[in-house]
Amino acid sequence: MSTTSRMPRLVIAAPSSGSGKTTVATGLMAALTESGLDVSPHKVGPDYIDPGYHTLAVSLEGRPGRPPRPGRNLDAYLCGPERVAPLFLHGAAGADLAVVEGVMGLYDGAAGQGELASTAQVAKLLRAPVVLVVDGSSQSRSVAALVHGFATFDPEVRLAGVILNKVGSPRHEELLREALEIVGVPVLGALHRSRQVRTPSRHLGLVPAAERHAEAVEAVRAMAAQVRESVDLTALLALAHSAPPLPDEPWSPEGEGPVAGGEPVVAVAGGPAFTFSYAEHAELLAGAGARVVSFDPLRDERLPEGARALVVGGGFPEVYAAELSANEPLRAAVAAFEGPVVAECAGLLYLCRELDGSPMCGLLDARARMTDRLTLGYREAVAVADNVLAAAGTRVRGHEFHRTAVDPPAGTAPAWGVVRPERRTEGFATGRVHASYLHVHWAAEPELPRRLVAACLEGRGGR
């Protein structure tokens, strides 16, 4: 059995959103890294922002000779339950232990689909012990009933400990600990209220770490200090080492190997405006034979040398609309680019004629604007026709998360036909361009990046 399959691991969960699991998980990752351990960070669900803080947490001390470990997502809806453990083992390879932050409440998952994509399901798939972060700010003895319910709701979930958060005083902590003695779930720490660990939010959640690096570093260090002072790290490490071996084999981005024909350069947008990307996407492009090069649409005035395809993922272009618009040389370069272009969500907005009145690249005959309406949720979709990313009939699962709208919402050749939860067409698939609001995890559909690399090699554009 491989060393990776014996990976020590913990899942940090909570009864509901807002309980403080991001603070605890990020602080724990940073504290363990500071102690000299190589920590692999993971996040349940499709969220891109928390993994950015996780990456920062395990990077503060540096890993000589090795690049920072990226925060990775484990999403049973997007990737299928059968890929959760293999993706976990791939991401955690070579680490000393892994910390997995949950999503929403422990038992919350895809709406109307039982436990699918919940933290509880992922914990079971990983055979990992769960530590419940409980907001104790407005309760005392009632915490026992809460924890008892979560511990007994699903016997297959191993709820192995509790960390109390937002504790008001030493007396309050004492009352909470006394109440939990009758439940039989050990209290592994108690964090008191702290202003230092607060992180700012806006319309889609936390402000990404890449947008506020200096402040984010300070906040993560404060989280680490609070966890180090208030949590029993020795007990948590022992708990992580109690996880049994996994029977799965690690996932591999190599798949069928490189597409024959060369090593095309695929330029991937990054920087503060485009921070949403799953780590496996670049790995899959490389596995298909591409050379992946990043560029920053806020600062770079030229596309990477020899680029044969562009990938523009998610992020917050609406926050940087003026700056993106002001970079006229790069907008012109994108507009004149002749190779395949794949864009998701923020990338879709960047390719439009304008965003909130600011000129964008103009590859799409559409206009984008901010709205008051949040569009959020999992989707099932099918490729309407052959395009540079997907063959006609390809079925995918994706996720939407935005407060913008595009007019029109779909082109005459849509990117996807959404079939669940409602039926509609969405996005644009015009020759060499595929642009959509739908975030798709390519690990579930490795033919998508292979098709993109093949399109480069077949001569469908590029300079």
Q: Determine the average pLDDT of the residues in 199-227.
A: 71
Which residue, 225, 241, 257, sits at the end of a domain?
241
pLDDT band at 4 (very low <50, low <70, confident <90, very high): low
- Amino acid 230: pLDDT: 96
pLDDT band at 213 (very low <50, low <70, confident <90, very high): low
The answer to whether residue 199 sits within a structural domain is yes
Residue 393 lies in a domain: yes
Q: Are residues 439 and 291 in the same domain?
A: yes
The reply to whether 361 belongs to the active site is no
Residue 255 lies in a domain: no
Residue 35 has pLDDT above 80, yes or no: yes
How confident is the model at residue 6, as a pLDDT?
87
Q: Please indicate, yes or no, whether residues 441 and 311 belong to a single structural domain of this protein.
A: yes
Our measurement of the distance from residue 290's CA atom to the centroid of its chain's CA atoms, rounded to an integer in Å, reads: 23
Clarify whether residues 420 and 282 are in a common domain: yes
Residue 211: the pLDDT is: 60
The CATH number linked to 353 is 3.40.50.880
Same domain, 69 and 166: yes
Query: DSSP per residue over 42-69, as a string?
Result: EEESS-SHHHHHHHHHTTTT--TTSPPP
3 state SS of 360: coil
Q: Of 192, 225, 241, at which residue does a domain stop?
A: 241
Q: Name the pTM for this structure.
A: 0.94
User: pLDDT by residue (tens digit) across 220-268?
Assistant: 999 999 999 999 999 999 999 999 999 999 999 998 899 999 999 999 9
> What is the percent of the chain where pLDDT is above 70?
93
pLDDT band with cut points at 50, 70 and 90 for residue 39: very high
Q: Do 148 and 276 share a domain, yes or no? A: no
pLDDT of residue 80: 97
Q: Tell me what the pLDDT averaged over the chain comes to.
A: 93
How far apart CA 101 and CA 111 sit, in angstroms, is 20
Tens of pLDDT, residues 367-394 = 999 999 999 999 999 999 999 999 999 9
pLDDT score recorded for residue 199: 58
The per-residue pLDDT for 182 is 92
Q: Identify the active-site residue in 345, 352, 361, 456.
A: 345
pLDDT grade, residue 463 (50/70/90)? very low
Domain endpoint, select from 209, 241, 273: 241
Position 33 in a domain: yes
Answer yes or no: is 390 within a domain.
yes
Number of structural domains (the chain) is 2
Q: Where would I find the H helices in 93-212?
A: 119-126, 142-152, 170-180
Tokens of 246: 């996994």
Residue 62 lies in a domain: yes
Asked whether residue 367 falls in the same domain as residue 308, the answer is yes
Q: Are 282 and 366 within one domain?
A: yes
pLDDT in tens, 79-119: 999 999 999 999 999 999 999 999 999 999 999 999 999 99
Estimate the share of the chain in helix, then strand, then coil, as percent rounded to the nearest 5: 30, 25, 45
Domain with 294 in it: 265-457
Together in a domain, 275 and 372:
yes
Q: Is residue 360's pLDDT more than 90?
A: yes
- 79: Cα separation from own chain's centroid: 13
According to the model, what pLDDT value does residue 95 have? 96
| Cα distances (angstroms) measured from residue 311 to each of 270, 346, 431, 434 | 10, 11, 15, 10
Reply yes or no on whether the pLDDT at 49 is more than 80: yes
Same-domain status, 227 and 318: no
**In a domain? residue 445:** yes
Q: Is residue 143 part of a domain?
A: yes
Domain with residue 21: its CATH number is 3.40.50.300
Task: Identify whether residues 220 and 277 lie together within a single domain.
Answer: no
How far apart, in Å, are the Cα atoms of 235 and each of 9, 102, 148, 242? Answer: 13, 20, 21, 11
231 with 275, same domain: the answer is no
> 208 and 275 share a domain?
no
| Least reliable range by pLDDT among 58-62, 172-176, 339-343, 349-353 | 58-62
Element (H, E) at 295: strand 291-295
